[in-house]
Amino acid sequence: MGKSKTTKFKRPQFNSVGLPVNAVKEEDPAAEEHDEDDCPAAELLEKLQSPSADVREFACASISRVVQQSQSIPGFLQRGAVKRLGPMLLDGSLAVRETATGALRNLSACGGQEVCEDMVKHDVMTPLTALLRECCAGFDSAVVKMKDQKNPVEDVANEAVNLLWNLCENSSQALSMFNRSGLLDVVVQCLERHTHNVDLAISAAHCLHTVTEDNPELLRSLNTAVLGALENVLLSSQPSMAHTLLRTLAAGTLWNMKSCLPEARQSQTLNAVVASLSHCLDLDAGVLIPELRQAEEVNQGNTDHVTNVEEQAVVPMVEEEMDEEEEPKR
């Protein structure tokens, strides 16, 4: 379990500016030639202490973007990035929480096992656990101004669950802390949001699928609430590919748990698992792949447009606030 496991699903890497990782790398083709002195780590980490939430958010988003270039990661780690970003997970601004968690998520995803173990060593699990508990407590009380608008607390939780997933997949110590800290119930709460936020539920399902594999300590603590949440996902009927993925992950998690299923429920649960997987195998990949590709292209175009608009609005304001902070130094 933990660091001995291999990744079973290729996850999308978080990018605060809405660009694919390759696009970020292509923006500076000479980046690999830069030496460590050119790393913007020191300046960006200093901005995390700004009294302005906009500046802190901008710094976190910039870190999230830069660490996708693997050669920049040592510079951030040497300057204590994990210790500096950790408190940002509990920042008073939800936007800062989301971008800070996204930065740590990218750091864990792009840095691999060694970086994940270093992050756990520097106690990233403590603020992460507190953040997840606060998110789950605030799901229903979060203010959503428009009907189709995303719940901002769920967005933060999604980044946090992905970070937790990365850490547990790469660090046996993180997995052990997951077992002891009661995070299972928190992740299950995120899974139960599948009727409102399928992206959050999928992240939670990925995490559950990872932590339940070859983890007898956790399996001994499973209860009927966990089984019920997974079975409810299996019984959902939404036809989208996102929900199909969600049901597949739930089926895989239940299969990991088969040894501890109550005898009275084993037959019913395993039949539901088989039915869900059979449905996946019946899908026509030749039809679905072009449809998914077209949908992704449309989504990427919309994301790029929104990102450009947001950057045009935010960057001048942030630069002005940065100038105001530096004014006394001149």
DSSP E strands in the chain: the ranges are none
Q: Say how far apart CA 57 and CA 261 lie, in whole Å.
A: 44
Q: 234-270, pLDDT tens digit by residue?
A: 988 888 889 999 999 999 999 999 888 888 888 888 8
Q: 182-229, pLDDT tens digit by residue?
A: 999 999 999 999 998 999 999 999 999 999 999 999 998 888 899 999
Instruction: Tell me which residue of 284, 238, 239, 232 sits closest to 253, measured CA to CA.
Output: 232
Q: Say how far apart CA 324 and CA 262 lie, in whole Å.
A: 63
The answer to whether residue 123 sits within a structural domain is yes
The answer to whether residue 206 sits within a structural domain is no
Average pLDDT on 25-47 reads 64
Tally of CB atoms within 10 A around 95: 18
Q: At what angle do helices 152-170 and 172-180 cross, to 10 degrees?
A: 120
Q: Say how far apart CA 243 and CA 220 lie, in whole Å.
A: 28
Q: What's the Cα-to-Cα distance from 322 to each of 42, 50, 185, rounded to whole Å?
A: 15, 9, 41
pLDDT at 211: 97
pLDDT at 192: 96
Percent of the chain with pLDDT over 90: 56
Count of the separate structural domains present in the chain: 1
The answer to whether residue 65 sits within a structural domain is yes
The answer to whether residue 58 sits within a structural domain is yes
Residue 225 CA to its chain's centroid (Å): 24
Instruction: Tokens 């089926």: give the residue.
Output: 251
Q: Say how far apart CA 259 and CA 256 lie, in whole Å.
A: 8
**SS3 for 134?**
helix
Q: 273-316, pLDDT tens digit by residue?
A: 888 888 877 777 787 788 778 878 887 776 555 445 455 555 55
Percent of the chain with pLDDT over 70: 77
Structural domain that includes position 97: 39-135
Q: What's the Cα-to-Cα distance from 210 to each of 58, 104, 194, rounded to whole Å?
A: 32, 19, 18
- In contact, 122 and 83? CB cutoff 8 Å: yes
The answer to whether residue 84 sits within a structural domain is yes
> Amino acid identity of 34?
H
Q: What is the CATH number of the domain that holds 92?
A: 1.25.10.10
- Given a cut of 60, whether residue 18 has pLDDT beyond it is no
The answer to whether residue 200 sits within a structural domain is no
pLDDT at 22: 43
pLDDT at 312: 56
Quote the tokens at residue 146. 């428009």
Helix H or strand E encompassing 198: helix 198-211
Q: Say how far apart CA 273 and CA 254 lie, in whole Å.
A: 7
Q: Say how far apart CA 305 and CA 37 lie, in whole Å.
A: 34
Tally of CB atoms within 10 A around 174: 27
